[in-house]
Chains A and B, each alone.
Chain A
Amino acid sequence: MAKNVKVYSTPTCPWCIRVKQFLKDNNIAFEDYDVGSDQVKADEMTAKSGQMGVPVIDIEGEIIVGFDKERIKAALGL
Protein backbone atom coordinates (compact mmCIF):
# COMPACT_ATOMS: atom_id res chain seq x y z
CA MET A 1 0.00 0.00 0.00
CA ALA A 2 1.19 3.50 -0.76
CA LYS A 3 2.82 5.24 2.17
CA ASN A 4 1.50 8.46 3.63
CA VAL A 5 4.05 11.11 2.62
CA LYS A 6 3.95 14.79 3.55
CA VAL A 7 6.40 17.47 2.40
CA TYR A 8 6.65 20.76 4.29
CA SER A 9 8.40 23.28 2.07
CA THR A 10 8.65 26.85 0.82
CA PRO A 11 8.22 27.65 -2.88
CA THR A 12 11.71 29.17 -3.13
CA CYS A 13 14.05 26.71 -1.43
CA PRO A 14 16.25 24.75 -3.85
CA TRP A 15 16.37 21.55 -1.76
CA CYS A 16 12.56 21.54 -1.48
CA ILE A 17 12.32 21.56 -5.25
CA ARG A 18 14.74 18.64 -5.48
CA VAL A 19 12.92 16.60 -2.83
CA LYS A 20 9.62 16.99 -4.67
CA GLN A 21 11.26 16.21 -8.01
CA PHE A 22 12.81 13.08 -6.49
CA LEU A 23 9.40 11.91 -5.19
CA LYS A 24 7.74 12.61 -8.55
CA ASP A 25 10.50 10.76 -10.42
CA ASN A 26 9.82 7.74 -8.21
CA ASN A 27 6.04 8.00 -8.63
CA ILE A 28 5.49 8.69 -4.95
CA ALA A 29 2.28 10.58 -4.18
CA PHE A 30 2.64 13.20 -1.44
CA GLU A 31 0.84 16.05 0.29
CA ASP A 32 2.68 19.33 -0.32
CA TYR A 33 2.37 22.02 2.34
CA ASP A 34 3.66 25.55 1.71
CA VAL A 35 4.76 26.55 5.21
CA GLY A 36 5.46 30.06 3.96
CA SER A 37 1.76 30.75 3.49
CA ASP A 38 0.17 28.19 5.82
CA GLN A 39 0.91 29.12 9.44
CA VAL A 40 -0.91 26.08 10.85
CA LYS A 41 1.25 23.72 8.80
CA ALA A 42 4.38 25.75 9.67
CA ASP A 43 3.65 25.23 13.37
CA GLU A 44 2.95 21.55 12.72
CA MET A 45 6.32 21.25 10.98
CA THR A 46 8.29 22.90 13.79
CA ALA A 47 6.46 20.80 16.38
CA LYS A 48 7.20 17.57 14.50
CA SER A 49 10.83 18.30 13.66
CA GLY A 50 11.85 20.59 16.52
CA GLN A 51 13.42 23.01 14.05
CA MET A 52 12.53 25.54 11.37
CA GLY A 53 14.62 24.52 8.36
CA VAL A 54 12.90 23.33 5.19
CA PRO A 55 12.26 20.87 3.66
CA VAL A 56 10.82 18.48 6.24
CA ILE A 57 9.51 15.14 4.99
CA ASP A 58 7.10 13.03 7.02
CA ILE A 59 6.95 9.42 5.82
CA GLU A 60 4.44 7.47 7.93
CA GLY A 61 5.56 9.43 10.98
CA GLU A 62 9.30 9.22 10.29
CA ILE A 63 10.58 12.79 10.17
CA ILE A 64 13.43 13.62 7.83
CA VAL A 65 14.94 17.11 7.72
CA GLY A 66 16.55 18.13 4.42
CA PHE A 67 17.00 16.23 1.17
CA ASP A 68 18.56 13.14 2.75
CA LYS A 69 18.15 10.87 -0.25
CA GLU A 70 19.37 7.70 1.45
CA ARG A 71 17.03 8.08 4.43
CA ILE A 72 14.09 8.96 2.18
CA LYS A 73 14.77 5.89 0.05
CA ALA A 74 15.03 3.67 3.11
CA ALA A 75 11.81 5.04 4.61
CA LEU A 76 9.98 4.50 1.32
CA GLY A 77 11.50 1.09 0.76
CA LEU A 78 12.96 2.12 -2.63
Chain B
Amino acid sequence: MKIYDLIIVGAGPAGITSSVYAARKRMDFLVITGDIGGQTAYSGDIENYTGYQFVTGRELVHKFEEHMRSYDTNVKEGEVVIEVERIGEIITVKTNKAIEYQAKTVIIASGKRSKELGVQGEKEYKNKGVTYCATCDGPLFGDKRVAVIGGGNSALDAALQLERIARKVYIINNTPGLGGDTIMRQKVEKADNVEILNNSQVAAISGDKFVNSITVKSGEEEKKLAVEGIFVEIGLIPNSDFVKAVEKNKLGEIKINNGNETNVPGIFAAGDVTDVPEKQIVIAAGEGSKACLSAFRYLAQH
Protein backbone atom coordinates (compact mmCIF):
# COMPACT_ATOMS: atom_id res chain seq x y z
CA MET B 1 0.00 0.00 0.00
CA LYS B 2 1.14 3.51 -0.80
CA ILE B 3 2.45 5.44 2.18
CA TYR B 4 1.78 9.17 2.03
CA ASP B 5 3.92 11.77 3.79
CA LEU B 6 0.79 13.29 5.27
CA ILE B 7 -2.97 12.79 5.49
CA ILE B 8 -5.08 15.78 6.49
CA VAL B 9 -8.44 14.91 8.05
CA GLY B 10 -10.96 17.70 7.49
CA ALA B 11 -11.24 20.67 5.14
CA GLY B 12 -12.30 23.60 7.26
CA PRO B 13 -10.01 26.62 7.74
CA ALA B 14 -7.42 24.51 9.60
CA GLY B 15 -7.31 21.55 7.18
CA ILE B 16 -7.37 23.74 4.08
CA THR B 17 -4.54 25.93 5.37
CA SER B 18 -2.53 22.78 6.19
CA SER B 19 -3.12 21.60 2.62
CA VAL B 20 -1.84 24.87 1.16
CA TYR B 21 1.36 24.62 3.20
CA ALA B 22 1.76 20.91 2.38
CA ALA B 23 1.38 21.63 -1.35
CA ARG B 24 3.95 24.40 -1.19
CA LYS B 25 6.38 22.09 0.65
CA ARG B 26 5.76 19.55 -2.14
CA MET B 27 4.69 16.90 0.34
CA ASP B 28 3.00 13.76 -0.98
CA PHE B 29 -0.34 14.15 0.75
CA LEU B 30 -4.07 13.62 0.74
CA VAL B 31 -7.06 15.46 2.22
CA ILE B 32 -9.96 13.32 3.46
CA THR B 33 -13.12 15.16 4.40
CA GLY B 34 -16.89 14.83 4.63
CA ASP B 35 -17.46 18.43 3.58
CA ILE B 36 -15.65 21.56 2.47
CA GLY B 37 -15.45 24.57 4.74
CA GLY B 38 -16.64 23.01 7.99
CA GLN B 39 -18.53 25.38 10.24
CA THR B 40 -17.38 28.39 8.21
CA ALA B 41 -19.67 27.26 5.38
CA TYR B 42 -22.58 27.70 7.77
CA SER B 43 -21.52 31.11 9.09
CA GLY B 44 -23.47 34.18 8.04
CA ASP B 45 -21.49 37.41 8.04
CA ILE B 46 -17.83 37.37 8.98
CA GLU B 47 -16.22 40.68 9.93
CA ASN B 48 -13.11 39.54 11.80
CA TYR B 49 -11.08 37.58 9.26
CA THR B 50 -8.06 39.75 8.51
CA GLY B 51 -8.09 41.26 5.05
CA TYR B 52 -11.86 41.10 4.75
CA GLN B 53 -13.83 43.83 6.48
CA PHE B 54 -16.92 41.92 5.45
CA VAL B 55 -17.30 38.52 3.88
CA THR B 56 -19.98 35.84 4.07
CA GLY B 57 -19.09 32.34 5.22
CA ARG B 58 -19.96 31.05 1.79
CA GLU B 59 -17.63 33.48 0.01
CA LEU B 60 -14.75 32.83 2.38
CA VAL B 61 -15.10 29.05 1.95
CA HIS B 62 -15.15 29.55 -1.81
CA LYS B 63 -11.83 31.44 -1.57
CA PHE B 64 -10.39 28.77 0.74
CA GLU B 65 -11.40 25.96 -1.60
CA GLU B 66 -10.08 27.80 -4.65
CA HIS B 67 -6.75 28.22 -2.88
CA MET B 68 -6.60 24.54 -1.90
CA ARG B 69 -7.49 23.29 -5.39
CA SER B 70 -5.07 25.64 -7.15
CA TYR B 71 -2.35 23.11 -6.28
CA ASP B 72 -4.06 20.04 -7.79
CA THR B 73 -4.47 18.67 -4.31
CA ASN B 74 -5.95 15.19 -3.99
CA VAL B 75 -9.16 15.75 -2.00
CA LYS B 76 -11.32 12.78 -1.02
CA GLU B 77 -14.56 14.69 -0.52
CA GLY B 78 -17.61 13.01 0.97
CA GLU B 79 -15.44 10.45 2.73
CA VAL B 80 -15.60 10.38 6.52
CA VAL B 81 -12.72 9.10 8.63
CA ILE B 82 -13.84 6.51 11.15
CA GLU B 83 -10.50 5.45 12.63
CA VAL B 84 -6.93 6.68 12.96
CA GLU B 85 -4.41 4.29 14.40
CA ARG B 86 -0.63 4.23 14.64
CA ILE B 87 1.07 0.88 14.32
CA GLY B 88 4.86 0.96 14.37
CA GLU B 89 5.93 4.05 12.45
CA ILE B 90 2.89 4.03 10.14
CA ILE B 91 -0.49 5.63 10.71
CA THR B 92 -3.55 3.97 9.19
CA VAL B 93 -6.64 6.02 8.37
CA LYS B 94 -9.89 4.14 7.76
CA THR B 95 -12.96 5.72 6.18
CA ASN B 96 -16.70 5.04 5.93
CA LYS B 97 -16.16 3.78 2.38
CA ALA B 98 -14.19 0.84 3.81
CA ILE B 99 -10.98 2.28 2.36
CA GLU B 100 -7.68 2.33 4.23
CA TYR B 101 -4.94 4.86 3.67
CA GLN B 102 -1.47 4.97 5.22
CA ALA B 103 0.81 7.86 6.04
CA LYS B 104 3.84 8.82 8.09
CA THR B 105 2.02 11.80 9.58
CA VAL B 106 -1.60 12.82 10.08
CA ILE B 107 -3.15 16.17 10.89
CA ILE B 108 -6.55 15.92 12.58
CA ALA B 109 -8.51 19.04 11.62
CA SER B 110 -12.01 17.63 11.87
CA GLY B 111 -13.53 20.54 13.77
CA LYS B 112 -16.71 20.52 15.75
CA ARG B 113 -20.40 19.87 15.20
CA SER B 114 -23.60 21.27 16.72
CA LYS B 115 -24.67 20.09 20.11
CA GLU B 116 -28.26 18.90 20.47
CA LEU B 117 -30.67 20.12 23.15
CA GLY B 118 -31.78 16.69 24.30
CA VAL B 119 -35.39 17.70 24.89
CA GLN B 120 -38.65 16.05 24.02
CA GLY B 121 -39.68 16.61 20.40
CA GLU B 122 -36.22 17.61 19.17
CA LYS B 123 -35.46 14.43 17.22
CA GLU B 124 -39.03 14.01 16.01
CA TYR B 125 -39.12 17.51 14.49
CA LYS B 126 -35.59 17.64 13.10
CA ASN B 127 -35.89 19.27 9.66
CA LYS B 128 -39.58 19.73 10.41
CA GLY B 129 -38.99 23.06 12.07
CA VAL B 130 -35.96 22.15 14.20
CA THR B 131 -32.69 23.05 12.51
CA TYR B 132 -29.03 23.50 13.37
CA CYS B 133 -28.21 25.76 10.41
CA ALA B 134 -29.73 29.23 10.22
CA THR B 135 -27.72 29.98 7.09
CA CYS B 136 -29.20 26.97 5.24
CA ASP B 137 -32.76 26.87 6.43
CA GLY B 138 -33.36 30.44 7.61
CA PRO B 139 -34.82 31.65 4.29
CA LEU B 140 -37.64 29.09 4.64
CA PHE B 141 -39.03 30.96 7.62
CA GLY B 142 -39.99 34.18 5.85
CA ASP B 143 -42.61 36.06 7.88
CA LYS B 144 -42.81 33.21 10.42
CA ARG B 145 -42.13 33.15 14.17
CA VAL B 146 -38.92 31.46 15.22
CA ALA B 147 -36.87 30.77 18.34
CA VAL B 148 -33.09 30.76 18.53
CA ILE B 149 -31.75 28.67 21.39
CA GLY B 150 -28.46 29.85 22.89
CA GLY B 151 -26.71 33.05 23.90
CA GLY B 152 -23.22 32.97 22.37
CA ASN B 153 -21.86 34.23 19.06
CA SER B 154 -23.46 31.48 16.94
CA ALA B 155 -26.87 32.21 18.48
CA LEU B 156 -26.39 35.94 17.87
CA ASP B 157 -25.30 35.26 14.29
CA ALA B 158 -28.41 33.12 13.73
CA ALA B 159 -30.66 35.77 15.30
CA LEU B 160 -29.16 38.48 13.08
CA GLN B 161 -29.75 36.40 9.97
CA LEU B 162 -33.32 35.58 11.00
CA GLU B 163 -34.24 39.07 12.13
CA ARG B 164 -34.17 40.10 8.44
CA ILE B 165 -36.38 37.19 7.34
CA ALA B 166 -38.76 36.19 10.12
CA ARG B 167 -41.67 38.10 11.61
CA LYS B 168 -40.59 37.47 15.20
CA VAL B 169 -37.40 36.08 16.71
CA TYR B 170 -37.22 34.84 20.30
CA ILE B 171 -33.80 34.21 21.80
CA ILE B 172 -33.97 31.58 24.53
CA ASN B 173 -30.84 31.95 26.64
CA ASN B 174 -30.20 29.97 29.82
CA THR B 175 -27.84 32.52 31.44
CA PRO B 176 -28.67 35.93 33.03
CA GLY B 177 -27.44 37.83 29.93
CA LEU B 178 -26.31 37.23 26.35
CA GLY B 179 -22.66 36.43 25.76
CA GLY B 180 -20.76 36.80 22.50
CA ASP B 181 -19.18 39.89 20.97
CA THR B 182 -20.48 43.26 22.19
CA ILE B 183 -20.93 44.57 18.64
CA MET B 184 -23.17 41.62 17.71
CA ARG B 185 -25.07 41.79 20.99
CA GLN B 186 -25.84 45.47 20.39
CA LYS B 187 -27.16 44.73 16.90
CA VAL B 188 -29.44 42.02 18.30
CA GLU B 189 -30.70 44.23 21.11
CA LYS B 190 -31.49 47.00 18.61
CA ALA B 191 -33.61 44.80 16.31
CA ASP B 192 -37.33 45.54 16.70
CA ASN B 193 -38.60 42.02 16.14
CA VAL B 194 -36.19 40.26 18.52
CA GLU B 195 -37.27 39.35 22.04
CA ILE B 196 -34.64 38.05 24.45
CA LEU B 197 -35.66 35.60 27.17
CA ASN B 198 -32.81 35.22 29.65
CA ASN B 199 -32.57 32.62 32.44
CA SER B 200 -34.74 30.40 30.27
CA GLN B 201 -34.56 26.77 29.21
CA VAL B 202 -36.35 24.81 26.55
CA ALA B 203 -38.58 22.18 28.16
CA ALA B 204 -40.21 20.66 25.07
CA ILE B 205 -40.84 21.09 21.36
CA SER B 206 -44.26 20.25 19.99
CA GLY B 207 -46.36 20.36 16.84
CA ASP B 208 -48.37 18.18 14.50
CA LYS B 209 -46.69 17.49 11.16
CA PHE B 210 -44.33 20.41 11.74
CA VAL B 211 -43.29 22.40 14.80
CA ASN B 212 -45.91 24.81 16.09
CA SER B 213 -44.72 25.63 19.60
CA ILE B 214 -41.94 25.55 22.14
CA THR B 215 -42.29 25.25 25.90
CA VAL B 216 -39.90 27.53 27.78
CA LYS B 217 -39.15 27.35 31.47
CA SER B 218 -37.80 30.22 33.56
CA GLY B 219 -37.52 29.29 37.22
CA GLU B 220 -40.86 27.79 38.20
CA GLU B 221 -42.73 29.51 35.42
CA GLU B 222 -43.47 27.62 32.22
CA LYS B 223 -44.90 29.11 29.04
CA LYS B 224 -45.67 27.98 25.54
CA LEU B 225 -44.61 30.18 22.63
CA ALA B 226 -46.11 29.74 19.18
CA VAL B 227 -43.20 29.27 16.75
CA GLU B 228 -42.74 27.49 13.43
CA GLY B 229 -38.96 27.35 13.50
CA ILE B 230 -36.42 26.42 16.18
CA PHE B 231 -32.74 27.15 15.59
CA VAL B 232 -30.48 25.31 18.01
CA GLU B 233 -27.21 27.18 18.60
CA ILE B 234 -26.08 25.97 22.03
CA GLY B 235 -22.50 25.22 21.24
CA LEU B 236 -20.41 22.53 19.68
CA ILE B 237 -18.81 19.19 20.34
CA PRO B 238 -15.49 18.08 18.84
CA ASN B 239 -15.38 15.46 16.08
CA SER B 240 -12.69 13.48 17.85
CA ASP B 241 -14.32 10.11 18.56
CA PHE B 242 -12.60 8.37 15.64
CA VAL B 243 -9.14 8.83 17.10
CA LYS B 244 -8.89 6.81 20.27
CA ALA B 245 -5.14 6.85 20.84
CA VAL B 246 -4.65 10.58 21.51
CA GLU B 247 -5.16 12.35 24.81
CA LYS B 248 -8.21 14.57 25.08
CA ASN B 249 -9.53 17.00 27.68
CA LYS B 250 -12.89 16.54 29.40
CA LEU B 251 -14.68 18.31 26.55
CA GLY B 252 -13.31 15.72 24.13
CA GLU B 253 -10.90 18.20 22.54
CA ILE B 254 -7.55 16.76 21.45
CA LYS B 255 -4.71 17.96 23.66
CA ILE B 256 -1.85 19.55 21.74
CA ASN B 257 1.36 21.40 22.59
CA ASN B 258 2.28 24.69 20.96
CA GLY B 259 3.73 22.80 18.00
CA ASN B 260 0.35 21.07 17.41
CA GLU B 261 1.75 17.69 18.47
CA THR B 262 -0.55 15.22 20.23
CA ASN B 263 0.85 12.64 22.64
CA VAL B 264 1.17 10.20 19.71
CA PRO B 265 4.26 10.77 17.51
CA GLY B 266 3.31 11.65 13.93
CA ILE B 267 -0.27 12.60 14.83
CA PHE B 268 -0.84 16.35 14.87
CA ALA B 269 -4.07 18.27 15.37
CA ALA B 270 -5.28 21.77 14.52
CA GLY B 271 -8.24 24.09 14.90
CA ASP B 272 -11.52 23.67 16.75
CA VAL B 273 -11.06 19.95 17.40
CA THR B 274 -8.12 20.78 19.70
CA ASP B 275 -7.84 22.35 23.14
CA VAL B 276 -6.38 25.55 21.65
CA PRO B 277 -7.86 28.51 23.53
CA GLU B 278 -10.38 30.45 21.41
CA LYS B 279 -12.18 29.01 18.42
CA GLN B 280 -12.01 31.45 15.54
CA ILE B 281 -11.60 31.06 11.78
CA VAL B 282 -8.41 33.08 11.79
CA ILE B 283 -6.99 31.00 14.66
CA ALA B 284 -7.93 27.69 13.02
CA ALA B 285 -6.19 28.82 9.82
CA GLY B 286 -3.05 29.77 11.75
CA GLU B 287 -3.10 26.48 13.65
CA GLY B 288 -3.41 24.57 10.38
CA SER B 289 -0.31 26.27 9.09
CA LYS B 290 1.64 25.49 12.28
CA ALA B 291 0.54 21.84 12.27
CA CYS B 292 1.75 21.36 8.70
CA LEU B 293 5.12 22.96 9.41
CA SER B 294 5.49 20.72 12.48
CA ALA B 295 4.61 17.64 10.42
CA PHE B 296 7.15 18.72 7.79
CA ARG B 297 9.85 19.04 10.46
CA TYR B 298 8.89 15.65 11.91
CA LEU B 299 9.25 14.03 8.46
CA ALA B 300 12.70 15.55 8.04
CA GLN B 301 13.78 13.99 11.34
CA HIS B 302 12.25 10.54 10.80
Chain B residue nearest to A68 (CB atoms) is B78
Q: Which of A33-72 contact B (CB under 8 A)?
A: 34-37, 39, 42, 46, 50-54, 65, 69
Q: How far is the CB of A23 from chain B (nearest CB, A)?
A: 15
Chain B residue nearest to A35 (CB atoms) is B140
* A-B contacts, CB under 8 A, total: 64
Pairwise interchain contact A14-B128, C-beta atoms closer than 8 A: no
Pairwise interchain contact B128-A52, C-beta atoms closer than 8 A: yes
Q: Does A12 contact B (CB under 8 A)?
A: yes
Given contacts A14-B58, A14-B61, contact A53 B42 (CB under 8 A): no
The 8 Å CB contact of A36, one of B44, B133, B142, is B142
The 8 Å CB contact of A17, one of B44, B58, B165, B210, is B58
The 8 Å CB contact of B137, one of A37, A39, A52, A69, is A52
Pairwise interchain contact A12-B128, C-beta atoms closer than 8 A: no
Q: How far is the CB of A49 from chain B (nearest CB, A)?
A: 9
Pairwise interchain contact B140-A36, C-beta atoms closer than 8 A: yes
The 8 Å CB contact of B210, one of A11, A52, A54, is A52
Given contacts A39-B142, A69-B78, contact A13 B128 (CB under 8 A): no
Q: Does A15 contact B (CB under 8 A)?
A: yes
Pairwise interchain contact B127-A51, C-beta atoms closer than 8 A: yes
Contacts of A36 in B (CB 8 A): 138-140, 142, 165
Q: Does B193 contact A (CB under 8 A)?
A: no
| CA–CA, A65 and B56, complex, Å | 25
Q: How far is the CB of A10 from chain B (nearest CB, A)?
A: 4
Given contacts A51-B128, A53-B127, contact A14 B136 (CB under 8 A): yes
Interface size bracket, A side: 20 to 34
Contacts of A18 in B (CB 8 A): 36
Q: How far is the CB of B201 from chain A (nearest CB, A)?
A: 24
Contacts of A34 in B (CB 8 A): 139
Chain A residue nearest to B78 (CB atoms) is A69
Q: How far is the CB of B136 from chain A (nearest CB, A)?
A: 3
Contacts of B138 in A (CB 8 A): 10, 12, 36
Pairwise interchain contact A53-B41, C-beta atoms closer than 8 A: no
Pairwise interchain contact A53-B137, C-beta atoms closer than 8 A: yes
Pairwise interchain contact B136-A12, C-beta atoms closer than 8 A: yes
Mask of A3-16 contacts with B, CB within 8 angstroms, 1/0? 00000001111111
Pairwise interchain contact B58-A12, C-beta atoms closer than 8 A: yes
Q: How far is the CB of A73 from chain B (nearest CB, A)?
A: 12
Q: How far is the CB of B79 from chain A (nearest CB, A)?
A: 11
Contacts of B78 in A (CB 8 A): 69
Contacts of B165 in A (CB 8 A): 36
Q: Does B129 contact A (CB under 8 A)?
A: yes
Q: How far is the CB of B76 from chain A (nearest CB, A)?
A: 13
Q: Does B135 contact A (CB under 8 A)?
A: yes
Task: Jot down 17 A-B pairs with beta carbons below 8 A, ordered by A.
Answer: A10-B140, A12-B135, A13-B135, A14-B36, A14-B58, A15-B35, A17-B58, A35-B139, A36-B139, A36-B165, A37-B139, A52-B128, A52-B131, A52-B137, A52-B210, A53-B131, A53-B137
